[in-house]
Structure 1
Amino acid sequence: MRDRRPQVSGTKAAEATVTDATVTEVLAELAGLDDPKIRAVNERHGDDHGVNLGKLRALAKRLKTQQELSHRLWATDDTAARLLAILICRPKAFRRDELDSMLREARTPKVHDWLVSYVVKKSPHSEELRLAWTADPDPVVASAGWALTTERAARKPEGLDLGGLLDVIEAEMKDAPDRLQWAMNHCLAQIGIEHPGLRTRAIDIGERLQVLKDYPTPPGCTSPFAPAWIAEMVRRQQAE
């Protein structure tokens, strides 16, 4: 059977050799951290793991960066192991095709989101992947492209056609599948928050489409409904 683990050149020679026993030990530790109550909550959101994320981060801190172990943990297809793999990898070490394959293999929302946020955003291939993924026919893959676009709209908007993005959001967000709709809505809100010249249009689009207007929002939290989200974040900025 062909080894489908991502292969990375330039791995530090000083990195300890990872054995099957090492992977087995880590998986056993993750199994010991599994909490049925946490798993039940996570499964309602599509995430099949029961590990407290604070404890997962503590384990990652103890293991430190280990690229080969990260590969081996990712190859298990276990959600908790993949989250740990993301935390101990070297983001800039992955090739473009490896990141593309990993995103398509990411079965659960948490793995998908962490891979984009903690790995792809730090990769030298992030812009190329942003363009490719945004145009992908798979809405889950496209949502990753929109997540990268949101990041760029907020931090490095130079050369980005923000008005054109609003055109696409206005035309497509209302009927987009849930994951893609959420990512596009985040981009809409971010443009409205960070770019005063486009704020009125972003709010108007949100008001007209009514996407996520009735989303359940706990007391003290900000609604994901773009007009409310924009208004609250601008209020905080002005209060600083």
Structure 2
Amino acid sequence: MTETVPELLAELAALEDPRMREVNERNGDDHGVNLGKLRAIAKRLKTQQELARELWGTGETSARLLALLICRPKAFDADELDAMLRESRAPKVHDWLVSYVVKKGPHAEALRVRWFDDADAVVASAGWALTIERVAKSPEGLDLAALLDTIEAEMVDAPDRLQWSMNHCLAQIGISHPEHRARALAIGERLEVLKDYPTPPNCTSPFAPTWINEIVRRQELAAAR
């Protein structure tokens, strides 16, 4: 039996938790659905590209998150993904679109280049997120020194989401590329971005020097075993 969009919207509405919505709204996400329950619905539905497009078209954040879990990443063209990203204002939708769809499709590099210097800081943050992936897994052809130049010049004044992505890129360069580690650490120490970010116990601080040193320490410890 094929489930319809109205039925799924009703199911999602029934899962709304006002307390969870209150917590999510502090981070800009306008939904109150437990993500574990959302994933359970996606597992039941399996991959359904047309249903995913219909759910996306509702504009509802929880429906869009569900759409991203049941879509077929390779079925989107680059312009469609570009349009989807530009209308994704909820951070969780933005993150899942980049992580679960764009990164798994054939247009990741073309969109990375398209988004990297976009005038919209939220769109640019997606370009930086894709760059982080390249820095870690396929850095060939990237000018890491130039990336560090840009981070050094622009990160302090960048809007929050873009700043977060630039900071992650800074840390990733320092972690993955020992030849650039000293400079990455020095940039982080001088700029002090996220130095005082509240970090729960047993979690690594997003302050780049702390982040770099901790992950490198773990890698060296693992290699010594």
Give aligned pairs, total. 222
Task: Describe the SS at the equivalent of 1:30.
Answer: helix
Stretches (4+) displaced over 6 A: none
Instruction: Say what the alpha-carbon RMSD is for the aligned residues.
Output: 1.0
- Which residue number in structure 1 is paired with residue 29 of structure 2? 47
Equivalent position amino acid for 1:226 in 2: A
| CA distance in 1: counterparts of 2:207 and 2:120, whole angstroms | 24
Alpha-carbon shift at residue 68 of structure 1 (Å): 0.3
Equivalent position amino acid for 1:64 in 2: K
- Which residue number in structure 2 is paired with residue 84 of structure 1? 66
- Which residue number in structure 2 is paired with residue 28 of structure 1? 10
1:179 is the counterpart of 2:161: yes
| CA distance in 2: counterparts of 1:208 and 1:231, whole angstroms | 16
Equivalent position amino acid for 1:156 in 2: S
| CA distance in 2: counterparts of 1:107 and 1:79, whole angstroms | 9
Task: Describe the SS at the equivalent of 1:174.
Answer: coil
Instruction: Give the alignment of 1:1-240 within 5 angstroms.
Output: 22-240=4-222
Alpha-carbon shift at residue 116 of structure 1 (Å): 0.4
Q: Cα deviations across residues 3-56 of structure 1 (Å, max 9, x unaligned)?
A: xxxxxxxxxxxxx9x7xx700111111111111111110011100000111111
Where structure 2 has 5 or more consecutive residues not aligned to the other structure, the ranges are none
- After TM superposition, the score normalised by the length of structure 1 is 0.91
Q: Percent identity?
A: 74
| CA distance in 1: counterparts of 2:173 and 2:15, whole angstroms | 40
Q: Cα deviations across residues 184-223 of structure 1 (Å, max 9, x unaligned)?
A: 0000000101111111110000001000001111111110
Alpha-carbon shift at residue 235 of structure 1 (Å): 1.0
- After TM superposition, the score normalised by the length of structure 2 is 0.97
Task: Describe the SS at the equivalent of 1:122.
Answer: coil
Q: Cα deviations across residues 116-155 of structure 1 (Å, max 9, x unaligned)?
A: 0000111111111101101110101000000000011001
